[in-house]
Chains A and B, each alone.
Chain A
């Protein structure tokens, strides 16, 4: 089955002279095409007073160019059922879009226009700013999002991972058009840009279209920001509550600083995390907190290993009266993964799940785009999907335990709780 996975044989990878890497994969099963990609223009280069800058800049790219107004861009896309959107992450600004195969050149033309010729119209900036400020206002009353916001700030103080890419009311209110233009000029560049195109268009035709749309782009004054922030460590438990009044449920995030995707521990932690909070119905956490104790609708874990060392965290949504029991359940499971070797058959189950679901993850054009971008971003090699199963299956019982001991300290963690003030629920 793995022979049908995209690999060096079927993925075309081309580096254009201006620094853009193009990845294409043909799939003629549906008459559509999906694109995705990124540039090195994320929030990493913002300072704390400018939080939200990269997000606003990315959001403004399609709000007016030298050739088209916001209305014309949307009219061109939506009249053929196509879509395209930009958004910023911590490390990069990304984009994604889809169209019927016959409309790929239109999609790439608008992508290229938005990247090369944005004009950041002042009136459009105010429209977008109002939407972002409304989103920030909504976030303040969303327990799940407030738990994450609080957790990130707690685990990563004075660090890019501790700041919100969306920004804060005071920072977003203070940003001016000139800041956006500066950010754009400083960081948007074809150098290091990656574009993946997957769908019912031949690789040759995609290459021609991309060359004609983006091949001439030059940005000699821009410097793509590929910096990686430092690791952080915890020497004692940090706990903080964010009061979100009037709510029926509290959300909590409990976690630890973990590792980058490139870290040798990554594959072990990836499998260990599946045992802890994913396999079946949310792994051991789901079994303990939902199935056995009936405390929560969701209780799971997540490993965010990116270019830098992201967190490894457990997440649960519970009645405010049950917060402490849920925390105890999470810590008990962390302790068990450290203290007891995971039974061989339980490990084998998680491994079979991770390797066996790969065809499902690659079933759609979006799924393939996402896999190609992951491969490129982390330098995994075009045959990575063929090796994935071997890498997963090579993880041993001992390694799971060692990894849990290294990262999941039940006596030293960061914990954020968002919900009604305790005692008022």
Chain B
């Protein structure tokens, strides 16, 4: 579990972790830029730029990159989210050099060909249209918009349609030049390699890349919430959904760990995997109150570790034949309960054990480990990741009472309801 951390002269952070259980290595480069860094007019640009970074360079034309990775038995992908943009290759361990070369090249040599930018626009619009088909996407977008009036967490990573239609190639290029410098990036390698050799090779490939100016900071802090916000969204379908979003702490806030325990008690342990899918939560309080009581067909929660204070989101699918009002009333009763009575030591210990199990499962795949190590380094730091379980173990019942009082009150939440209108 030894993680080596280095910083190159040009500012690139390098994290290395040997993991010898399979002849596989994963290599990631994480950029500290996501939709958090966007302003109205160019929402969705971080994600659009990520797509453009698959369009190749002179050294690695796009057709060649796909083929080289695949023919070497590798997989590759990229993700853009609120806080980050990241790219990875996972390859048989003896071929990982290809991933290193592709990422070093991507950091400085991408072409952003105007014709490619134009073709990709319709692909991204299609991606957004696919998302719009899902009521839960539409509801989440509305709730985020209401929960954040000032902070750019206001808009979803995919961006607003009007911006996707108008973002220019020049704006994409400017985004690339602004945010893709080595000092704004973290390189992560996990797998079957010798750390000194991996370090030397990364230095050789990334060391010569010229440092760029520090990107502008995000200055738009969300002011405190002064009362519950509510919205109803109408759309096609027969199923109603309820989303309750409580303003929560940032990953680095000491309150984050008590909130992990509270979210586990309310909606179940969080999965620590790439897909962020959660394990079953049938013993959680809200499952019992909503699903066992036959008001909801499903309930889930998410407390994402984030750079800036974000949300603890609870989403319930209203059961056929029930109403969203009934689900909300039951939710309110349960949330009042957690404020009224202290959590038992037993519930606390169960939540810790559940998180430990998720942590153990997450270490099976090097790709997953690379994901978590990089993600944690973006939203907090390596120590936060290494100390994750220890931090949970130091949480006390008193911490839970204080955190519940601070974050789980109605005045601190946004409630969104999806009201189906039939076909």
Cβ-based interface call for B10 (8 A): no
Number of residue pairs A-B, CB distance < 8 angstroms = 200
Residue of B67, B298, B423 touching A349 (CB-CB under 8 A): B67
Indicate whether A352 sits within 8 Å of B73 (C-beta atoms), given known contacts A295-B122, A295-B126.
yes
Q: How far is the CB of A63 from chain B (nearest CB, A)?
A: 10
Q: How far is the CA of A99 from the CA of B280 in the complex (A)?
A: 13
Q: A142-B133, A248-B133 in contact; A81/B320 too (CB < 8 A)?
A: no
Interface string of B339-367 (1 = CB under 8 A from A): 00000000000100111111011011111
Asked if A349 and B127 sit within 8 Å, CB to CB, the answer is no
Which of A126, A141, A294, A317 touches B237 (beta carbons < 8 Å)?
A: A141
A291 to B119, CA, bound (A): 7
Contact B21–A297 (Cβ < 8 Å)? no
Please pick, from A292, A295, A297, A349, the residue contacting B70 in the complex, using a CB distance under 8 A: A349
- Contact between B358 and A81, CB atoms less than 8 A apart: yes
B71 with A141: CB separation less than 8 A: no
Known A247-B133, A249-B133, A352-B72: A363·B294 in contact at CB below 8 Å: no
Residues of A within 8 A of B90 (CB): 360
Q: Whole-angstrom distance between the alpha carbons of A249 and B353 in the complex?
A: 43
Chain B residues positioned under 8 Å from A292 (CB to CB): 119
Which B residues lie within 8 Å of A357 (CB)?
73-75
Docked Cα-Cα span, A291 to B118, in Å, equals 11
Cβ B133 vs Cβ A98 within 8 A: no
User: In the bound complex, do residue A280 and residue B235 qualify as a contact, i.e. CB atoms below 8 Å apart?
Assistant: no
A318 within 8 A of B: yes
Cα A290 to Cα B74 in complex, Å, equals 21
- Verify if A100 is at the interface (C-beta below 8 Å from B): yes
Q: Is B9 an interface residue (CB 8 A)?
A: no
Say whether A414 faces chain B, with CB atoms less than 8 Å apart: no
Candidates B70, B135, B268, B317; contact of A134 at CB < 8 Å: B317
- What 1/0 flags go to A220-263 for Cβ under 8 Å of B? 00000000000000000000000111111100000000000000
Residues of chain B lying within 8 A (CB to CB) of residue A27: 21
Chain A residues, Cβ within 8 Å of B67? 280, 349
Residues of A within 8 A of B119 (CB): 291-294
Would you call A364 and B364 a contact (CB within 8 A)?
yes
Given A78-B281, A130-B319, A319-B126: A353 in contact with B71 (beta carbons within 8 A)? yes
A178 contacts B by Cβ under 8 Å:
no
* A80-B353, A294-B123 known; A356+B236 contact, CB < 8 A: no
Contact flag A281-B66 (CB < 8 Å), given A78-B280, A247-B236, A364-B364: yes
A403 within 8 A of B: no
Counting chain A residues whose Cβ lies within 8 A of the other chain, the interface size class is 35 or more
B121 within 8 A of A: yes
User: Cβ of A81 and Cβ of B238 under 8 Å apart?
Assistant: no
Chain A residues positioned under 8 Å from B364 (CB to CB): 29-30, 32, 363-366
Q: Which of B24, B128, B237, B319 contacts A131 (CB 8 A)?
A: B319
Q: Within 8 Å CB of B297, what residues of A?
A: 130-131, 134-135
A349 — which chain B residues lie within 8 A by C-beta?
67, 70-71
Beta-carbon contacts under 8 Å, A121-143 to B: 126-127, 130-131, 133-135, 137-138, 140-143
Report whether B365 and A364 are in contact in the complex, using a CB–CB cutoff of 8 Å. Answer: yes
A98-B361, A130-B294, A130-B319 known; A140+B129 contact, CB < 8 A: no
For B123, B294, B356, the residue with the greatest tally of chain A CB atoms inside 10 Å of its CB is B123
Chain B residues within 8 Å of A, Cβ to Cβ: 21-24, 54, 66-67, 69-75, 90, 92, 118-130, 132-135, 235-239, 268-269, 279-283, 291-292, 294, 297-298, 317-321, 350, 353-358, 360-361, 363-367, 421, 423
Beyond known contacts A78-B354, A357-B74: 7 more, CB 8 A cutoff: A127-B291, A134-B318, A246-B423, A247-B236, A294-B123, A298-B130, A362-B22
A-B contact pairs, 18 of them (CB 8 A): A1-B92, A71-B283, A78-B268, A83-B280, A98-B361, A127-B292, A244-B423, A248-B128, A296-B126, A317-B130, A319-B125, A352-B71, A353-B71, A353-B73, A359-B92, A363-B22, A364-B364, A364-B365
* Closest CB pairs A-B (n = 8): A356-B73, A81-B357, A246-B236, A29-B21, A280-B66, A134-B297, A248-B129, A294-B122
Query: Which residues in A have some Cβ–Cβ distance to B below 8 Å?
Result: 1, 4, 27, 29-32, 70-71, 74-75, 77-83, 85, 98-100, 126-127, 130-131, 133-135, 137-138, 140-144, 243-249, 279-281, 290-298, 317-319, 348-350, 352-353, 355-360, 362-366
